[in-house]
Structure 1
Amino acid sequence: MTSSDAEEDVLATPRLPTGFRVDGWELGGVIGSGGWGTVYEARAVADGTAAAVKVLPTGALAPGQRAEFGELVAREVRFSAEADHPHLIRTRAVCTVDAPDMPELDGAIALVMDRAEASVRQVLDSPKSSGPAGGPIPDAVRVLRGVVSGLAHMHGAGWVHGDLKPDNVLLGAGGEVWLADFGLATELDGTHAHMPPLGTLDHLPPEWWSQRTGARGAVVRPTADIWAFGVLAHQVLTGGRHPFPGSTARARSLAAQAYARGTAPLRLGAGLDEDWRLIVSDCLAPDHRTRLRHTAAHLAARIEELCGRRGRGRLLPGRTRSRR
């Protein structure tokens, strides 16, 4: 099942009504839908604590899809239980939906999580997300510092996110920056791991397309997250512009592959200054061996050093000094 197929299945699934209770949590309106589930606003019945509840139905899936889905849910629950970092979304509880009158949702898994105000994708899609055309989103540096800090923690703990993109970076009302959606997060076995052949086409590294998928899935390494961070950073710093041209995700992934083969140059946004241009281009090194030098911890240190030199609130030093 592709991500788009999954989203169509989710959108076809009935929604739980406002006021519906999942254990001790009362649901509000729908925040959004992802590849496998629907996220609702929620409050604790006991004390009104705000949360988000991600409902993951299984009833409409074919047997093979259900098995794959079960693995993704188990992986997300396991990682969320182990995660302990201010830039990783917390899962507070795992519940089961009791809705006998709605067979499609009865027995669905519900993950109770921290509630975010918006995703980076929603900020990018907002007409007020940036200043002049191609400018950074508000608090772009703070967002990128949070993302790379959370990513460094994941990698240090032996996990790969596997689906880093604007949709999976959440922003809280108090300035929090959280990595979220750990359905594809997978634990490393040495230098690499295996995951289902899923993911977001235009955030996957070029080597993803040249490898064979075995019985255990596709090979994934921390360098895949580094590539995805480069794409994300470019989008955050340029008001949503993807570093590879194309009107569709598939076209952009093909452009990235052409760049990796050396048949097309890397053309980054003109608004990037030299320091950020170097960071992004290092993340987008065309082969994963080169990206090995640019670990998430190393990138976090570079960004902190850059913030220290410029002052944490300042993104750009002035006009672009050079282009790469």
Structure 2
Amino acid sequence: MDDDGTPPLDVPAGYQVAGWRITELIGSGGWGSVYAAEDPAGGTVAVKFLRPGLPTPGRHRTMAELVRREDYFSRRADHPQLIRTLAAVTVRDPGDPRLDGALALVMERAERSLQQVLADGEPGTAVTGAARILAEVATGLAHMHGRGWVHGDLKPGNILLMADGGVRLADFGLSAELDGGTHAYAPPLGSPDHVPPEWWSHRAGARGVELRPSADVWAFGVLAHQVLTGGLHPFLGATARARSLAAQAYARGTAPLRLDERLPDGWRAVIADCLAGDPAVRSRLGAAELLARVRQAGGPPPPARA
């Protein structure tokens, strides 16, 4: 059972989806479950099943929109730091009402997520290979921004570590293409303690909530602080909501920015600029310059991967 009390979407071993055979459960959440699967040649993938029986039509429409966005972006993404979606299908199985109508995304399989690495680590101690991980995340982010896309949900759970040691951005359900090169729109979702302070003041219209590249820069600052401190968030709070309120107080100027004292000076400056309360300041930083500064703070860039 997941943290929210929702049982996993039960998919039996051997179940076939678009030519892949389900083998075992990887993880589960309120929206669905992720299973490992293999093809006849022995290749392995991850299959994300999204629940068909959501409680309201509105939530089901939102889920369908997330799947559409992820599939749309993945078919256009081609970069070593971006996870690939191999297929998006609707399960048709009238004999099994639990699965009939479920949406399934077949994706490259990773070894584990950065969230799992942080959970297994020691608070206050940087993740092994922190500089390389952050450089590869920044590389993927710079590629997305350079192609006119915003990720929209950058957080440890959406950073995947591959079997070959590579790092890839994943979960593009909130990713959006920039309109006029400045902003995009996404469903009013996201991780409360990784969205920027201004996100809370944006009203959701017919196209969703306004989203700018500066939101990804903010999220990278939070992520970098967590990677370099073993999971410690730059804004204190026992819950995600409390941490988001602390970030909003800082952005209003009613609270100072208190970064962990163990951060190296070079990284401290990068993170502080990413967490600028004014989104215009973050916009001037940009993902390309952010990548250059991350490489400078962490040493030589990682070797290129095929």
Q: Fold conserved (TM > 0.5)? A: yes
Corresponding position of 2:174:
184
Q: Mark the CA change 1:72 to 1:234 in structure 2 (over 3 Å): closer, same or farther.
A: same
Corresponding position of 2:33:
38
Corresponding position of 1:51:
45
What is the correspondence of 1:286-301 to structure 2 with a 5 Å cutoff? 286-301=277-292
2:163 matched to 1:173?
yes
**C-alpha distance in 2 between matches for 1:305 and 1:140:** 14
Q: Secondary structure at the match of 1:72?
A: helix
What is the correspondence of 1:1-324 to structure 2 with a 5 Å cutoff? 8=4, 11-12=6-7, 14-34=9-29, 36-44=31-39, 46-126=40-120, 129-130=121-122, 133-190=123-180, 191-308=182-299
- In 2, are the aligned partners of 1:26 and 1:42 still within 8 Å (CA)? yes
- In 2, are the aligned partners of 1:94 and 1:110 still within 8 Å (CA)? yes
**17-26 or 114-123, which deviates more:** 17-26
**C-alpha distance in 1 between matches for 2:30 and 2:143:** 25
**C-alpha distance in 1 between matches for 2:54 and 2:30:** 14
Q: Mark the CA change 1:171 to 1:35 in structure 2 (over 3 Å): closer, same or farther.
A: farther
- In 2, are the aligned partners of 1:54 and 1:111 still within 8 Å (CA)? yes
**What letter is aligned with 1:57?**
R
**CA displacement at 1:102 relative to structure 2:** 2.6
**What letter is aligned with 1:39?**
V
Q: TM-score, normalised by structure 1?
A: 0.88
**What letter is aligned with 2:19?**
G
**C-alpha distance in 1 between matches for 2:150 and 2:29:** 19
Deviations 1:134-160, CA, capped at 9 Å, x for gaps: 111111111101111111111111111
Deviations 1:150-200, CA, capped at 9 Å, x for gaps: 111111111111111000000011101010001111111021111111100
**CA displacement at 1:18 relative to structure 2:** 1.6
Q: Mark the CA change 1:7 to 1:157 in structure 2 (over 3 Å): closer, same or farther.
A: farther
5+ unaligned residues in a row in structure 1: which ranges? Answer: 1-5, 314-324
**What letter is aligned with 1:42?**
A
Deviations 1:228-253, CA, capped at 9 Å, x for gaps: 00000000000000000000000000
Identity percentage of aligned residues? 58
Q: TM-score, normalised by structure 2?
A: 0.93
**C-alpha distance in 1 between matches for 2:302 and 2:48:** 34
**CA displacement at 1:226 relative to structure 2:** 0.4
- In 2, are the aligned partners of 1:60 and 1:104 still within 8 Å (CA)? no
**C-alpha distance in 2 between matches for 1:157 and 1:37:** 30
5+ unaligned residues in a row in structure 2: which ranges? Answer: none
**89-98 or 271-280, which deviates more:** 89-98
**CA displacement at 1:214 relative to structure 2:** 2.0
Deviations 1:103-126, CA, capped at 9 Å, x for gaps: 132121211111111100000000
Q: Mark the CA change 1:35 to 1:161 in structure 2 (over 3 Å): closer, same or farther.
A: farther
**CA displacement at 1:19 relative to structure 2:** 1.7
Q: Mark the CA change 1:184 to 1:140 in structure 2 (over 3 Å): closer, same or farther.
A: same
**CA displacement at 1:100 relative to structure 2:** 2.8
- In 2, are the aligned partners of 1:59 and 1:103 still within 8 Å (CA)? no
**CA displacement at 1:59 relative to structure 2:** 2.7
**C-alpha distance in 2 between matches for 1:124 and 1:8:** 20
